[in-house]
Structure 1
Amino acid sequence: MRVLVLDDEPLELDQIEILIHDHFPTWVVKKAQNYTEAMEVVDRSLQEDQPMQLALIDVKLPGRNGLEVAEKIKARIPQIDFIVVSAFQNFDYAKKSIQLKVVDYLVKPVIEKEFVTVLQSYVHEHPEYEIHSEVVQKMIRIVQSSYQDSLKLSDIAKELHMNANYMSRLFSEEVGKSFSDYLLGYRIEMAKSLLVKHKDWSIQRVAEDCGFNSQHYFSTTFKKLVNQTPKAFRK
């Protein structure tokens, strides 16, 4: 797991880094105290083809709202998730949170037990981020960068010069779900973001932009996984 921690207070940064290393020793943590440093970390991770996967961002930063920074980061890394940290308990960011994929909130001062619980919950929902196999990591990166295209495991196997059956079995063992189920779920997550971000887009356009050839299949799948139709979710 590659994590960006953005906070203008050095002591807070160090505390969060220590907590992560104590409880999630395999995670890579990058720290930033302002917008410029954060974007440098983001751009460097993209240059190295190792994009940040999770960002912990303080809402109140000097001269900038933390969610504005999150928006800039998401423009670079659409698949990134956010955990928002704030000294205030009144979070009035519902629509923006859906758009930015804010998965949870933490209130300052950060309490170790609550912090660990939030991250453990996140890992439980995203078991793929605890993967150590380079093959499966490559498969996930391909999904995240090419989910809009017609992706087939057989094509990825050819690209990686590997046996498709072996890759399928390895993916299922490490991620806990089949490759096709993971791809489908990822496309739906991207669709949820687009439905909120682009109110003027038709359902057909959202479906096509997320790799679905059929609006009917998209709507049926969306309702099955989200328990709402795309139209109802958008409201």
Structure 2
Amino acid sequence: MSSLENVVVRADKSALAHAVAERLISELAVLTAGDGVAHVSLTGGSMGIGTLAAVRDLPDRDDVAWSRVHFWWSDERFVPRNDGERNARQAREALLDALDVPDVNVHEPWASEDGSLDDAAKAYADELSAHGPDGEPAPAFDICLLGVGPDAHIASLFPGREEIHVSGGVAVLPVRNSPKPPPERITFTLPVINRSARVWLVVAGADKAEAVARVRAGALAGEAPASAARGTLETVLFADKAALAD
């Protein structure tokens, strides 16, 4: 797997979101050229949604054949669909509603009104499997965007929890009693994340500096889940100066 020493630094959150947005557009323009199809895993949080808003505002976004891009989420909050905490709702408002993307290409996990948490995880796993080649549990994402929490969590894989250690063919897990609210969530497993060609960790703010330092030092996955995220082609840490203060 690729090294984490590929680091892109910008002065502040706004400049960082712009840099990630430009690179996302550039990669997707190539991936969707001709008849190419791309699978992208989105993330929530201020930087994840800020990046999508930056994509919306860049004129180069029209270089991408958005109708051939499939959007997924590495995790989602199990709350009502119209809840402001839903990653998917925030992503739609920031970017997706402005794009020519077929509804079938937006793979939003179930909301709480759709069924139980366990059924929601199974439904999302089934949808991933339907797009996975040769019986794989999920597609190999062309780009997997991940935020990093102050505790170095990614998706809804938190330190000290069993979810980070799940391996094998399990693609999606229900999460209960999350240390970060809301308590119920749906998350990719680490093996699904690590099948991605490009894993981009996007992190900003002084409150993330300790987590970034632990990740770059190679902390164990159980202590800093973000340290275990690796793409098969590249792993990039996008950070502002405040996040690299340590």
Tell whether the structures are fold-level matches, with TM greater than 0.5: no
Q: Which has the higher contact order (CA 8 A, sep 6+)?
A: 2
Question: Higher helix fraction: Structure 1 or Structure 2?
Answer: 1
TM-score by length of 1: 0.28
TM-score by length of 2: 0.27
Question: Higher strand fraction: Structure 1 or Structure 2?
Answer: 2
